[in-house]
Structure 1
Amino acid sequence: MADPDTGAPSATYAARLESAARLLSGQGIDALLITPGPDLQYLTGSTMSSFERLTCLVVPATGQPRMIVPRLEVAALRGTALDDLDVAILPWIDGEDPHGMIVEAIGPDARAAIADAAPALHVLPLQARLGQPLALATDVLRELRMIKDEAEKAALRQAGAAIDRVHARMGEFLRAGRTESEVAASITAAIIEEGHTGAAFVIVGSGPHGADPHHEVSERVIARGDIVVIDIGGPVPAGYFSDCTRTYSIGEPDPAAAERIAILEEAQARAVATARPGATSGQVDAAARDHLAAHGLSEYFVHRTGHGIGLSVHEEPYIMTGGEQVLREGMAFSIEPGIYLPGEWGARIEDIVILTADGCEPVNRQPHRLTVLPG
């Protein structure tokens, strides 16, 4: 059976649960406690939301996993991959003690690792009842989630192609006289039209706003001569995310700005060329950062070069200065150096890449150069 939300076969989730259990003993952990969020989706396909009522998948190092879930949410599990998995469904009703059910399942002295998406509303009561401090499940699951299987790679390629189609339409949306928020509304609609289930983020940084890497949108009116950073992404039906940034000029750009953005383009290309199995995350970062430094632009590059991507927009591995993570085939991450001149303009170029046996495959194919749009 395939999960209706993700399309992945139940056997995929069964294998992931088995792999997670095997990893536990090697890390001195007795059980994983996985509340709704990306980890639960990865292990079971469930896209349930987290509420004040506790839902928690308990994955022991040995024995049968259990899903502790409010009775009124049980119907949401029917017809999903959980129907075929060897997971006991343990419903509870208001007035009962779901935190106590977890402690009973794993033992009061168990060493447990909890999902980083778990609300404090549930973390604190559980910690109060356990004799051992809770650890983070990320430390266990990173090894699984960092290496994408073929279905995950296919979903990332689908997401990359979908967001490329939005960038290819930017001339429809981005022009002088429109506000950033008006452009963002048009882009949001296009993200859905081109195959995403929604827009996770839309950054339209025009003129001096482009110098803020995480500027979103404002009522600033875009003017002729502006440099504009467009950073957009969202999930496709399988739950995997796109994330792609391109930089545009409204009319012909200032020559000095165009020259600096060409240097940024080369820095991004050098980082992509460095990304291969056996390299470290720090080496990929340095490939971009050193090129910018050689042209006197390093002070304007104020963030890491990239981040992993999958069921979360930001996940491991992180591509940053001094990073020691050795890259492996199947990892997927962004490569997105930028330069930001306070009060003037900013620029960023971002692709998602998937590591192959001897290099990397960018899933974004739109031109990297500064794209000039009619003023």
Structure 2
Amino acid sequence: MNRSPYSIGSSNRKIDPSRRRGEFKPDGSLNDNDRVEIGPTDLAFNEWQTLGLTAPNLTRMREYRLERIVNELNKRELAGILLFDPLNIRYATDSTNMQLWITHNHARACFVSAAGHVILWDFHNCDHLSAHLPLVKEVRGGASFFYFETGDRTTEHARHFAKEIESILLEHGGKDKRLAVDKIEIAGLRELDKLGIELFDGQEVMEHARAIKCEDEINAMRCSIASTEIAMAKMQQACTPGATENDIWSVLHAENIKRGGEWIECRILASGPRTNPWFQECGPRVVQNGELLAFDTDLIGPYGICADISRTWLIGDADPTLEQKRLYRVAYEHIQHNMDILRPGMSFEEVTQAGILLPEEFRAQRYGVMMHGVGLCDEYPSIRYPEDLKGHGYSGVLEPGMALCVEAYVGAVGGKEGVKLEDQIVITENGVENLTTYPFEERLLS
């Protein structure tokens, strides 16, 4: 086969149908020990069954996501969208390939037309990674035009890719050159501009598409959270005096991977005096009896679904101090109130105004948001505290199917310790469903 120097292969090959004669897993994926697609392990499926959870139907979930993108494109009268963000590509195709590496090396791309035609550009010799996905109609190569990959030929490769996009728009959009793009290297942006392609904000398109979850996505989220909470329980067992923060944090990583989870976005875990101020990352510090340990999972679990939960634990068998209990109680009441007020139809500003105010001593070190959307990662919307509304707030309305994380950090400037708590919920037709079941610390609430 003759190959362009810019495009290493092109294929729409799918898995041999004869291989689909076997049994299927609960989510509809092929029960093939050698299958290419990643996913939950038998350990996870067995645990979910014991918990009475329903796995998502992956075929239905993928079709729903594509429909959401198409609807957003048509609302804006766009011919299509070009995606480079690996999480947007995941949403559009449910394909994965070196997700963290691709985050800072844009070697994959995806085009979705307003009619739902999906083209995936993958890393070289990787077309087999999406062979199980019938919604991906074409697999190509040649979307790399960043310096590490293309050096002093970057403009040349970007120009070739831009012309390819122009050809695709002519085929799938007619004379319409209205294209949304989420993220793109500067060279690619300039070449698209030269061709007269009218560009629009693809991040807006994708954030709104991703905002409303179907029942299969919510089931996937329930499963991811359940696996995370099992891992958290094992973490808590490891929270013994003499262990290091890294010892404890490593348990979450290991247990996530064992269940088919994918990665962890951050490493925010701190103990004792390192819990104040917040956002300190875990390190070699040895935890002591009677100290607080606080963390934020920021975990991408099975199905690429984010489980974003925060807890603060008391280390060892010492009795908590009155100050530790006070901090904890303020944080607990804060997130409970802010979950209770949520109803579909509320504007983001109404949520801000109805939220409980932190005591003044804790406002200077308040968390960046009262709550935020969640799906494949932290997503739209961000709902701010009253102090931040003027500078950072934006308009929007809560809708059924939105998943949110409601959180609080409570720690005074110069204080000895701080408390971080966070639950993950979904907006329903009548209010909220809390998807988080991990218990709070009775010793700190008594």
Which bracket does the TM-score occupy, shorter chain normalised?
0.7 to 0.9
- Which ranges in structure 2 are unaligned for 5 or more consecutive residues? 1-19, 21-27, 30-36, 40-55, 145-155
- Which ranges in structure 1 are unaligned for 5 or more consecutive residues? none
- CA apart distance, 1:368: 2.7
| Bigger Cα displacement from structure 2, 155-164 vs 54-63 | 54-63
C-alpha distance 333-223 of structure 1, shift in aligned 2 (>3 A): same
Matching residue of 1:329:
400
Letter paired with 1:341: A
- CA apart distance, 1:240: 0.6
CA contact (8 A) 1:339 1:346 kept: yes
C-alpha distance 93-205 of structure 1, shift in aligned 2 (>3 A): closer
- CA distance in 2 between counterparts of 1:57 and 1:99 reads 13
* Secondary structure in structure 2 of the residue aligned to 1:103: helix
- CA apart distance, 1:201: 3.5
> Which of residues 424, 428, 433 in structure 2 aligns to 1:356?
428
- CA distance in 1 between counterparts of 2:179 and 2:188 reads 11
- CA distance in 2 between counterparts of 1:300 and 1:89 reads 48
- CA apart distance, 1:270: 0.2
| Bigger Cα displacement from structure 2, 266-275 vs 63-72 | 63-72
> Which of residues 340, 345, 350 in structure 2 aligns to 1:273?
340
| Bigger Cα displacement from structure 2, 325-334 vs 280-289 | 280-289
C-alpha distance 228-27 of structure 1, shift in aligned 2 (>3 A): same
> What does the per-residue CA deviation read over 1:260-312, in whole Å, with 9 as the maximum and x for residues that have no partner?
3212211110001012212233444445542x23x753334242122211112
- CA apart distance, 1:202: 3.7
CA contact (8 A) 1:165 1:194 kept: no
> Which of residues 435, 440, 443 in structure 2 aligns to 1:368?
440
> What does the per-residue CA deviation read over 1:343-365, in whole Å, with 9 as the maximum and x for residues that have no partner?
42111110100111111111111
Superposed, 1:32-47 pairs within 5 Å as 32-35=81-84, 37-47=86-96
Question: CA RMSD for the aligned pairs?
Answer: 3.1
Superposed, 1:205-220 pairs within 5 Å as 205-220=270-285
> Which of residues 238, 241, 249 in structure 1 aligns to 2:303?
238
> Which of residues 83, 87, 96 in structure 1 aligns to 2:137?
87
Matching residue of 1:103:
166
C-alpha distance 253-126 of structure 1, shift in aligned 2 (>3 A): farther
> Which of residues 86, 94, 110 in structure 2 aligns to 1:57?
110
Letter paired with 1:349: L
Identity of aligned residues (%): 23
- CA apart distance, 1:168: 2.7
Matching residue of 2:379:
315
| Bigger Cα displacement from structure 2, 101-110 vs 256-265 | 101-110
CA contact (8 A) 1:162 1:195 kept: no
- CA distance in 2 between counterparts of 1:90 and 1:192 reads 30
Matching residue of 1:259:
326
- CA distance in 2 between counterparts of 1:91 and 1:198 reads 26
- CA distance in 1 between counterparts of 2:140 and 2:264 reads 35
TM-score (normalizing by structure 2): 0.72
- CA distance in 2 between counterparts of 1:274 and 1:332 reads 15
Letter paired with 1:218: G
- CA distance in 2 between counterparts of 1:184 and 1:193 reads 15
| Bigger Cα displacement from structure 2, 54-63 vs 1-10 | 1-10
> What does the per-residue CA deviation read over 1:208-251, in whole Å, with 9 as the maximum and x for residues that have no partner?
21123221112222223322212224233311111111112232
Letter paired with 1:47: T
- CA apart distance, 1:25: 3.6
C-alpha distance 138-342 of structure 1, shift in aligned 2 (>3 A): same
**Number of residue pairs the alignment of both structures matches:** 364
Matching residue of 1:73:
126
- CA distance in 2 between counterparts of 1:260 and 1:354 reads 26
- CA distance in 1 between counterparts of 2:125 and 2:380 reads 34
CA contact (8 A) 2:344 2:429 kept: yes
> What does the per-residue CA deviation read over 1:6-29, in whole Å, with 9 as the maximum and x for residues that have no partner?
675445434543442343243242
- CA distance in 2 between counterparts of 1:325 and 1:53 reads 31
> What does the per-residue CA deviation read over 1:154-213, in whole Å, with 9 as the maximum and x for residues that have no partner?
111112222222333344211222222222223332333466344444422112211232
C-alpha distance 228-89 of structure 1, shift in aligned 2 (>3 A): closer
